[in-house]
Amino acid sequence: MEIDRRSFNKKLVSGLIGSILLSNSALALSFNRKNQQRLGVALVGLGGYSKRQLAPALLDTEYCYLAGIVTGTPSKEKEWMEKYNIPKQNVYNYENFDDIANNDAIDIVYVVLPNSMHADFSIRAAKAGKHVICEKPMAVSVAECNAIIKACEEEGVKLSVGYRMQSDPYTNEIKRLVKEKPFGDVHYVSSDAAYISRGNPNQWRLNRALSGGGALVNMGVYAIQSNIYGAGNNPTSVSAQEFSTRPEYFKDTDETITAQMEFPNGETGTIFTSHNANANRLFVSFRQGWAELHPCHSYGPLAGKTSEGKEIKFLHQSQQMLQMDDFAKHILTGSTNFAPGEMGKRDMIIVEAIYKSIKEGGKKIPLSLGNMGIVGI
């Protein structure tokens, strides 16, 4: 039985017809409207990002769908089962999670937990024979990134990091300009990724044991990524500085960090990241012009322009939908993995170098990354 997924969702929401369709939906969910196979995704951790972005996006994906959930909060089970038509046998908690190995309805495990839990659950997912999407930052150390990559290689499963920007058309337009050089070579690149944190001071993002760091690991990874695809290369060195203006709130994690990068052909770059400022931009200066994305790192709609006065504009689509479909297509057809594990590991190498530079008074830290994690440039 073939059901148009988008109209199915509308019917589901409207209730009456949706309830009639439910009995046949398990079959329908496994195939898209072109009768191609769809992979079952289990979300691990049903916090803000899963609830507000990933689960809604999985209603619109073509090549995967929300098949299961893993939660440590029993009260969420019923709500999610009803809302997303998830059968009881596809619901797990953190203790019985490893039983997911016996569940053929789950193809991909998507780890959406606090950063310090990424490695443990990604490795357990790989050992259960499931493909893995691990949220950003990939882990809280390079050693953990290595352990995730090793587990996925040993188990023969695919691995991706939740870098939604890598599937976004605006990001890919900058990559195209860098690659095709209509404005010549890149001279300088600058990117900012920051927001003001005012919430609960006890939240996990402000607790280093759970987050692995502050603004740098949370937002800074976006700025690192933008600098890299904006320059078209990995940096060869980084120097960094840390600033603190609200130490009573940011007791345990970094508030604001700036860093300077050198690239192999003499290009330079700067990044700014903060939990105490609003900034969201990428600027690429080429020899004969420039390109800018502003906003650049948010969920969209994004916006951009070039020195020719031309607007960079694409139809707004959910980045999470594009990202999860890209990964599902990669598994199903061998197409490009736009955010492989090496990309997450590379960014963590740069994060560790930035923290090292800060600790050593802004010393320049050399990097030997080669092409690690470079995709589509």
Nearer to ligand NAD, 113 or 151 (CB): 113
Nearer to ligand NAD, 57 or 349 (CB): 57
Nearer to ligand NAD, 112 or 321 (CB): 112
Which residue's CB atom is positioned nearest to ligand NAD?
47
Angle at the Cα of 239 from the Cα atoms of 236 and 243, rounded to 5 degrees: 150
Phi–psi pair at 278, nearest 5 degrees: -105, 120
Smallest gap from Cβ 23 to ligand NAD, in A, equals: 30
Smallest gap from Cβ 122 to ligand NAD, in A, equals: 11
Answer for which of 7, 73, 245, 371 binds ligand NAD (CB under 6 A) is 73
Answer for which of 21, 26, 105, 210 binds ligand NAD (CB under 6 A) is 210
What is the rounded distance in angstroms from the CA atom of residue 290 to the CA atom of residue 353?
A: 29
Answer for which of 16, 20, 23, 48 binds ligand NAD (CB under 6 A) is 48
Q: Which span (41-49, 178-186, 278-286, 360-368) binds ligand NAD, by CB under 6 A?
A: 41-49
Name residues contacting ligand NAD, limited to 222-261 (CB under 6 A).
none
Answer for which of 61, 90, 115, 239 binds ligand NAD (CB under 6 A) is 115
Smallest gap from Cβ 207 to ligand NAD, in A, equals: 8
Q: Which span (21-29, 107-115, 281-289, 303-311) binds ligand NAD, by CB under 6 A?
A: 107-115
Answer for which of 11, 12, 42, 45 binds ligand NAD (CB under 6 A) is 45
Nearer to ligand NAD, 72 or 376 (CB): 72
Q: One symbol per residue from 166 to 205: x for binding ligand NAD (CB under 6 A), - otherwise; what is it?
A: --------------------------------------x-
- Cβ atoms 189, 272 nearer than 8 A: no
Nearer to ligand NAD, 115 or 227 (CB): 115
What is the rounded distance in angstroms from the CA atom of residue 283 to the CA atom of residue 376?
A: 19
- Cβ atoms 191, 223 nearer than 8 A: yes
Rule CB under 6 A: say whether 49 interacts with ligand NAD.
yes
Task: Enter the tokens of residue 95.
Answer: 């203790």
Rule CB under 6 A: say whether 164 interacts with ligand NAD.
yes
Smallest gap from Cβ 352 to ligand NAD, in A, equals: 17
Smallest gap from Cβ 324 to ligand NAD, in A, equals: 11
Rule CB under 6 A: say whether 347 interacts with ligand NAD.
no
Rule CB under 6 A: say whether 46 interacts with ligand NAD.
yes
ω before 169 within 30° of 0 (cis)? no
Smallest gap from Cβ 209 to ligand NAD, in A, equals: 9
Nearer to ligand NAD, 40 or 45 (CB): 45
Which residues sit at the interface with ligand NAD, rule CB under 6 A? 45-50, 72-73, 112-115, 135-136, 162, 164, 204, 210, 218
